[in-house]
Chains A and B, each alone.
Chain A
C-alpha cells in the first residue's frame, strides 16, 4: 500500500437492456488478463495480493475503476428485484463490521480525492464523493446505518463479496452480497462448506484442487491478503448472470454470430482476493468482475493470440461447465485472425 491513485471520469454505461457499457482503451490495458500461458487448466493459482504492478487492476488493494458508479447502480437494481442476493447469517454481524472497516480504510487510503474516513473512537464519518454519500455513524451500532454494516458497504464496492466463517478446519459461506456472479446462487449455497459449494465444478475435486486451496486459505493471515484469477465468458456485458434469472438471459447465449461476436461476446475475468478479518477471524472473499469484449482483447495482440489458443485447447468438460459451447467455435474463428502461430511472451501482461 502507500501509493494513492486518482480516479478517471466515471462512465455511465448499463449492464442490461441497451447494454451501453464500454471500456475506455486505458481500462482495457489495466485489466487483470487471466492467462499467463497459451492454455488453461485449473490450478491453485494463489499469490500474495500486495505491492501490485503500477497502472494495473492490482495496483490498489481494492480496485476502483471508471465503471464504479454504473456498477453500483446495477447492484441497487438487482437488490430491488431480489433481496435474497444479500444475506448474512446471524453470527456474521461482527464480520460485517470488519468488512466495512476494511473497505472504508482501503478506499480512503487509495483514493483520497474520492473517499474519506474520519474516526473518533466509535464515532465515524464516511464520505463517498462519487456516490454522493456523507454518513456519520457509530461503529458497532447497526441502527446508525441505513442497512446492516455488510450490506451498507458492499452497496458501495464493486464486485461480489462473500464472507467465510472458519470452523472445524473448514470455511463456511455464511454471508454474501452477490449480484455480479457467474451463474451461482448465494441463496442456495449460503451455509455450505468449501467442498459443498464447489460440488458442481467438474475435474477439480479429483485433481485435489479444493483440498490444497482450502489449506492455503486457512493459512491466510491479517495484513497478507491473497488473490487468484478465474474466468468465463458472457454474452452481452451483463453483470448479473444469476441462476435466478437464467431463464431470462439464457436465450442470449444463442445470439452470437460471426458478425456480432467482436462486440457482443465478453471475456469475464474474476479477480478473487482473500482477507483475514481482525475481530471475527472470518475471511472476506471479494470476487471482482472485469468484462473485456473480443474487440477489446484484439487491441492487445498478445491477449487476442492467447485467447484464441486457450479456447482452442480447452477441455470439453470445462467448456460445457463454463457454458461456452454455443459460441466457442465462433469466437475461435474470429480470434484466429490474430494468431499467426508465433510464440507469445511469458506472463499475462501486454508486450
Chain B
C-alpha cells in the first residue's frame, strides 16, 4: 500500500488499519479498493471470522470487472450484499445496524468520501465513532457539505468544486465535521462572481 499524504488540520479524521477483533460478530462495510483491505483483514483473522460476519460491499458505479466482488464472495461471509455505490449501500447498512447484535465490531474501508458516509451512518445509529475501525483505501475524494444550501456532494475530486445542489463554485476547505460526515465547501468567488478560478484535480 502506498503512503497517502493527508492535509493535516485539527478537525481532520485519520484512519488506521483494520485488525480482527475478538468479538461475537463482525460487520464489514467496504467500498471500491477497500476490497483489498477486507482480504487483508480476513487473512489475519481466525478461520471462523467470516462465518460470524456480514459484508456490505459497494463496488463502485458502472463496474464491469467483477473480480473484487468474486474474491470477496469466496471469503464465505455469513451474509454478503453488494451495491453499486456507497450511497446506495446506506439503506442496507441502516437495516443491518438496526439489527446489530451487542458487541459486534464494525470495520469500514474505502475511499475518503465513502468512509465519511459510512462513519456518519454508524454514528447516527448510535455507535461511538471511537469504537469503529477504519482503513482508507482508494482516492482522497472528499464528501463535501455546501455551507450555503447544506446539500452534500459525494466524491469531490477537484478544487474548487461545484455544489451538486445549488451550483455555487465552492472552495473545499480543510475543515471537517464528523457529525455531518463532510468537508466544508464555501463559495470561492463570492466577492467577485466574474472571477472563476480553474478547477484542479487534487483529491486523488
Which residues on A are within 8 Å of B, measured CB to CB? 84, 185, 187-192, 195-200, 205, 243-248, 250-251, 253-254, 326
- Which DSSP category, helix, strand, loop or mixed, fits chain B's interface? loop
- State whether B177 touches A189 (Cβ < 8 A): yes
Q: Which of B10, B175, B179, B186 contacts A190 (CB 8 A)?
A: B179
Distance in angstroms between the alpha carbons of A243 and B168 in the assembled complex: 13
- The 25 listed contacts between A and B (C-beta, < 8 Å) are A185-B184, A187-B147, A188-B147, A188-B175, A188-B177, A189-B177, A191-B178, A195-B10, A196-B10, A196-B176, A197-B11, A198-B10, A199-B9, A199-B10, A199-B175, A205-B10, A243-B147, A243-B148, A243-B184, A246-B147, A246-B190, A247-B148, A247-B168, A251-B191, A251-B193
Q: Which of A188, A244, A253 has the most CB of B within 10 A?
A: A188
- State whether A243 touches B186 (Cβ < 8 A): yes
- State whether A191 touches B174 (Cβ < 8 A): no
Which residue of chain A lies nearest to B187 when distances are taken between CB atoms in the complex?
A: A247
Distance in angstroms between the alpha carbons of A99 and B182 in the assembled complex: 31
Beyond A243-B186, A246-B186, whether A84 also contacts B150 by CB under 8 A is: yes
Distance in angstroms between the alpha carbons of A253 and B168 in the assembled complex: 19
- State whether B174 touches A199 (Cβ < 8 A): yes
Near A by CB (< 8 A), chain B positions 143-157 give 145, 147-148, 150
A185: chain B residues within 8 A (beta carbon): 147, 184
- State whether B190 touches A247 (Cβ < 8 A): yes
B176: chain A residues within 8 A (beta carbon): 196, 199
B173 at the interface (CB under 8 A from A): yes
Closest 10 CB pairs of A and B: A250-B190, A199-B11, A199-B10, A196-B11, A191-B179, A247-B187, A195-B10, A243-B147, A247-B190, A199-B9
Distance in angstroms between the alpha carbons of A248 and B175 in the assembled complex: 22
- State whether B192 touches A254 (Cβ < 8 A): yes
A244: chain B residues within 8 A (beta carbon): 147-148
Q: Which of B9, B191, B192, B193 has the most CB of A within 10 A?
A: B191
B12 at the interface (CB under 8 A from A): yes
Near A by CB (< 8 A), chain B positions 1-41 give 9-12
B122: chain A residues within 8 A (beta carbon): none
**Extra contacts besides A197-B11, A199-B176, A251-B191 (8): CB < 8 Å:** A187-B150, A192-B178, A195-B11, A200-B173, A244-B147, A246-B147, A253-B191, A254-B192
B187: chain A residues within 8 A (beta carbon): 246-247, 250
- State whether A188 touches B190 (Cβ < 8 A): no
Near A by CB (< 8 A), chain B positions 116-157 give 145, 147-148, 150
Beyond A199-B9, A199-B175, A244-B147, whether A188 also contacts B184 by CB under 8 A is: yes
Beyond A192-B11, A200-B175, whether A254 also contacts B180 by CB under 8 A is: no
- State whether B190 touches A251 (Cβ < 8 A): yes
Distance in angstroms between the alpha carbons of A200 and B12 in the assembled complex: 11
Distance in angstroms between the alpha carbons of A195 and B175 in the assembled complex: 11
Distance in angstroms between the alpha carbons of A62 and B192 in the assembled complex: 39
Distance in angstroms between the alpha carbons of A198 and B175 in the assembled complex: 9
B173: chain A residues within 8 A (beta carbon): 200
A250: chain B residues within 8 A (beta carbon): 187, 190-191
Distance in angstroms between the alpha carbons of A192 and B191 in the assembled complex: 29
Which residue of chain B lies nearest to A205 when distances are taken between CB atoms in the complex?
A: B10
Distance in angstroms between the alpha carbons of A250 and B186 in the assembled complex: 11
B10: chain A residues within 8 A (beta carbon): 195-196, 198-199, 205
A205: chain B residues within 8 A (beta carbon): 10
Distance in angstroms between the alpha carbons of A244 and B191 in the assembled complex: 14
Least distance between B126 CB and chain A CB atoms (Å): 12
- State whether B177 touches A192 (Cβ < 8 A): yes
A199: chain B residues within 8 A (beta carbon): 9-12, 174-176
Over the window 160-204 of chain B, the binary record of Cβ atoms lying under 8 Å from chain A Cβ atoms (1 yes, 0 no) is 000000001000011111111000101100111100000000000
Distance in angstroms between the alpha carbons of A197 and B94 in the assembled complex: 28
Distance in angstroms between the alpha carbons of A285 and B176 in the assembled complex: 22
A326: chain B residues within 8 A (beta carbon): 191
- State whether A191 touches B191 (Cβ < 8 A): no
- State whether A251 touches B192 (Cβ < 8 A): yes
A243: chain B residues within 8 A (beta carbon): 147-148, 184, 186
Distance in angstroms between the alpha carbons of A244 and B185 in the assembled complex: 10
B192: chain A residues within 8 A (beta carbon): 251, 254
Q: Which of B145, B175, B177, B193 contacts A191 (CB 8 A)?
A: B177
Distance in angstroms between the alpha carbons of A243 and B10 in the assembled complex: 20
B168: chain A residues within 8 A (beta carbon): 247
A189: chain B residues within 8 A (beta carbon): 177
B191: chain A residues within 8 A (beta carbon): 250-251, 253-254, 326
- State whether B145 touches A188 (Cβ < 8 A): yes
